[in-house]
Amino acid sequence: MLIKKPQDLTYKDVTPKGAYANRRNFLLGLLATTCAVAGWKKFSYLVSGPGTGSTPVKLNGVVKGPYGTTEKETSFNDVTHYNNYYEFGTDKGEPAENAKNFVTTPWSVSVEGEVKKPRKFTMDEILKLAPLEERIYRHRCVEGWSIVVPWIGYSFSTIAKLVEPTSKAQFVAFESYYEPKQMPLGLSAGIPLPYVEGLRLDEAMNPLALLSVGMYGATLPNQDGAPVRMVIPWKYGFKSAKSLVKIRFVQSQPPTTWNIANAHEYGFYSNVNPNVDHPRWSQAKERRIGEFLRRPTLMFNGYGDQVASLYNGMDLKKYY
Amino acid sequence: MNSILTSKWTKVVVFLLCLLPLGMLVIRAVQGNLTANPIEFITHTTGDWTLRFLVITLAITPLRKTFRLRQLVRFRRMLGLFAFFYACLHFSTWIGLDKFFDWTEMWKDVQKRRFITVGFTGFVLMIPLAITSTAGWIRRLGGKRWQMLHRAIYLSAIAGVIHYYWLVKSDVREPLQYAAMVAVLLAWRLGSWIYGRGQRQDARGSPQGEITTAESA
């Protein structure tokens, strides 16, 4: 058997010092490049700000509705660039950019559950069920900021009466559209999706509860919940589900998204209440977008005359 | 590489780079482009950069040793002070813009809201480090004691991450990214400390037994 003598390594086989050092420089270069790219992305975002969003279409024949406030409206630009719409990103500037290409046609809403006449409403039908009213509502977010928005729509009770809830119907669940292909960021939102919110039937039938199809004289921009959403002005904003696809009348209190995510912080009722703090911050005051100093938060967001009677005898600290 | 690091111009460039986040805020303020909620935006931006500078400062020693870039240490004090600088901006935004000098409300928040409590603690811990960051203080305290004191930056970084984690509503990805970075940087120190102790024990008794530990902060 022939055993080859191993070839000895000679001094000329030693990796040149330069090449050896190069490996370290290469790693360093890689690190520096990664940092530079990440840094540049951050800076370009810092300089340019968020995107522009979708283009709403003017709505005709809108009449002045009841319950409006005379407070100064928040600018359209602020209302469309400061959004909590976690399906399109958890940063408030993100929905304007990421909802740009959200497809909202064709659209229909299925109304079902404990009703005599369950049916699907197309968007065209929804727009014609009742005269469209403009209602200027205060909108208070659980995070401590607020806006004033001229919504367009009609009372939710209009659609409820058409499907005729049975005597078993005690609650209403509102479900938002969710499709990970259109909303890839929803996967990392940290909340269960599709988004579901709910009301007691008598809350939903209160004329203040608005089924909204527009704002500022036109259809809803995608990032504000196009094409149709709820607006419940005496509750924290997250109770008003966006981009509705399903409305279910049910017997018992439905599980709701933020309550599932963190029951300790977000109750089923979530009425605006300056006397009941969020566990991590006070709810006594709010920052109205566009104003510098915080203003006091009003009980039921200032809609006590219309809704306080719904909660007679209830301990609002317990049912937060 | 070390020659680039020792150039005085590099220090000037790094200094200016560190001011960029503040510069961006000023430019956007002048443009009226601070989003719909400027106070929140300023608070978040300065908070983000405090955490980033804490991470960068903590990365200096591991980078210096891994890549044998001794001169990197020349930037450590400046980067640490920038972390403190952005923390000051963050803190004063809260005092002056967010709470508008409502001291009773702020004191209540510090006591009652745990994310504020922990953030405040992290900030307060940085104050003695900023004060004793001069060469004079290193001399006065002596290297060993100075180093012990300045390990408080570990606590500040951890407090900063917890502050952020407790603040967000549901999307914890960003706070977890910072947590991971701080964890790696602190784990590296733990690892090198354990390794160093083993080496010291091996070396005990030999004439070359004294291994310099003064550098490993």
pLDDT score for A8: 62
- Residue of chain B minimizing CA distance to A260: B170
From the list B21, B68, B53, the residue with the least C-alpha distance to B129 is B53
Q: Is residue A56 part of a domain?
A: yes
Give the mean pLDDT of chain B: 89
* Count: domains in chain B: 1
Burial code of A192-220, b = ≥16 C-beta within 10 A, e = fewer? ebbbbbbbbbebbbbebbbbbbbbbebbb
Q: Where are the alpha helices (DSSP H) in chain A?
A: 17-48, 76-81, 94-98, 123-128, 156-163, 201-205, 257-261, 304-307
Cβ contact, residue pair A281, B37, below 8 Å: no
What are B191's two structure tokens? 């690892």
Predicted pLDDT of residue B205: 56
Residue B177, min C-alpha distance to chain A (Å):
13
Calculate how close chain B gets to A317, using CA atoms only, in Å: 18
CA A125 to CA A211: how far, in whole Å?
A: 13
- Nearest chain A CA: its distance from B188 CA (Å): 17
Q: pLDDT band at residue B111, thresholds of 50, 70 and 90?
A: confident
In a domain, B88, yes or no: yes
pLDDT given for residue B210 in this prediction: 44
Inter-chain residue contact B171 with A90, CB threshold 8 Å: yes
ipTM of the complex: 0.76
Q: How many domains does chain A have?
A: 1
Q: Which residue has the higher pLDDT, A98 or A6?
A: A98
Inside any domain, residue A156: yes
Host domain of residue A87: 49-311
The CATH number given to whatever domain includes residue A180 is 3.90.420.10
Report the residue from B28, B36, B40 with minimal CB separation from A78. B36
With a cut of 70, say whether residue A46 has pLDDT above it: no
Q: Specify if A28 maps to a domain.
A: no
The answer for A 110-169 residues in CB contact with B (under 8 A) is: 143, 145
Cα torsion A116, A117, A123, A125 to 10°: value is: -120
Q: Is residue A132 part of a domain?
A: yes
Residue A111 forms beta bridges with which residues? A119, A247
Whether pLDDT at A34 is above 80 = no
Task: Say yes or no for a CB contact (<8 Å) between B170 and A28.
Answer: no
| Residue A306 falls inside a structural domain | yes
Q: State whether residue A263 sits within 8 Å of chain B by CB.
A: no
- Pairwise CA distance, residues A70 & B190, whole Å: 62
The pLDDT score that the predictor gives to residue A207 is 96
All residues of chain A having their beta carbon less than 8 Å from the beta carbon of residue B113 are 280-281
Q: How many CB contacts within 8 angstroms connect chain A with chain B?
A: 73
Is the pLDDT at A50 greater than 50? The verdict is no
Inter-chain residue contact B115 with A280, CB threshold 8 Å: yes
Nearest to B185 by CA among B11, B73, B65: B65
pLDDT at A51 (0 to 100): 47
Chain A residues whose CB is inside 8 A of the B70 CB are none
Residues 8 to 27 of A: which have CB under 8 A from any B CB?
Answer: 24-25, 27
Q: In this structure, is residue A186 part of a structural domain? A: yes
What mean pLDDT is reported for chain A? 89
- In percent, how much of chain A has pLDDT > 90? 77
Q: Are A79 and A237 in contact (CB under 8 A)?
A: no
Summarize pLDDT for A265-297 with one digit per residue, the tens.
Answer: 999 999 999 999 998 888 999 999 999 888 999
Mean pLDDT of A133-148: 96
Contact status of A185 with chain B (Cβ, < 8 Å): no
**Record: contact B172-A190, CB cut-off 8 A:** yes
- State the residue for tokens 């020693």: B61
Q: Phi and psi (nearest 5°) for B60?
A: -60, -55
Chain A residues with CB under 8 Å of B67 CB are 24, 27-28
**A49–B1 CB contact, under 8 Å:** no
CA dihedral B33, B34, B36, B39 (to 10 degrees): -160
CB A27 to CB B67 under 8 A? yes
User: Quick check: is A66 in a domain?
Assistant: yes
Mean pLDDT to the nearest integer, B186-210? 76
Please answer whether residues A73 and A26 qualify as being in contact, where contact means their C-beta atoms are separated by less than 8 angstroms. Answer: no
Q: What single-letter DSSP state applies at residue B137?
A: H
User: Which residue in A261, A298, A266 sits closest to A146, CA to CA?
Assistant: A298
* Pairwise CB contact (< 8 Å): A81 & B114: no
Q: Which of A27, A280, A289 sits opposite B113 (nearest CB)?
A: A280
Whole-angstrom distance, CA of residue A62 vs CA of residue A44: 41
Q: Does A46 touch chain B (CB under 8 A)?
A: yes
SS (H, E, C) A84-144: CCHHHCCCCCHHHHHCCCCCCCCCEEEEEECECCCEEEEHHHHHHCCCCEEEEEEEECCCC
Look up the domain containing B152 and give its range: 2-199
Q: Tell me: the pLDDT tens digits for A184-223?
A: 999 999 999 999 999 999 999 999 999 999 999 999 999 9
- The reported pTM is 0.81
Q: Do A190 and B166 touch (CB under 8 A)?
A: no
- Determine, for residues B21 and A191 on separate chains, whether the beta-carbon distance falls below 8 Å: no
Q: Is B114 on the interface with A (CB under 8 A)?
A: yes
In a domain, B209, yes or no: no
Closest residue of chain B to A81, computed from CA coordinates: B36
Question: Are the Cβ atoms of A280 and B35 closer than 8 angstroms?
Answer: no
Q: Check residue A68 and give its pLDDT.
A: 80
Q: What is the pLDDT of residues A146-162, one digit of tens each?
A: 999 999 999 999 999 99
Question: What pLDDT does A31 receive?
Answer: 64
Residue A43 pLDDT more than 60? no
Cβ contact, residue pair B40, A78, below 8 Å: no
Would the CB atoms of B171 and A189 count as touching at under 8 Å? yes
Q: Which of A46, A81, A190 sits opposite B36 (nearest CB)?
A: A81
**Is A93 in Cβ contact with B170 (below 8 Å)?**
no
Q: What pLDDT sits at residue B215?
A: 46
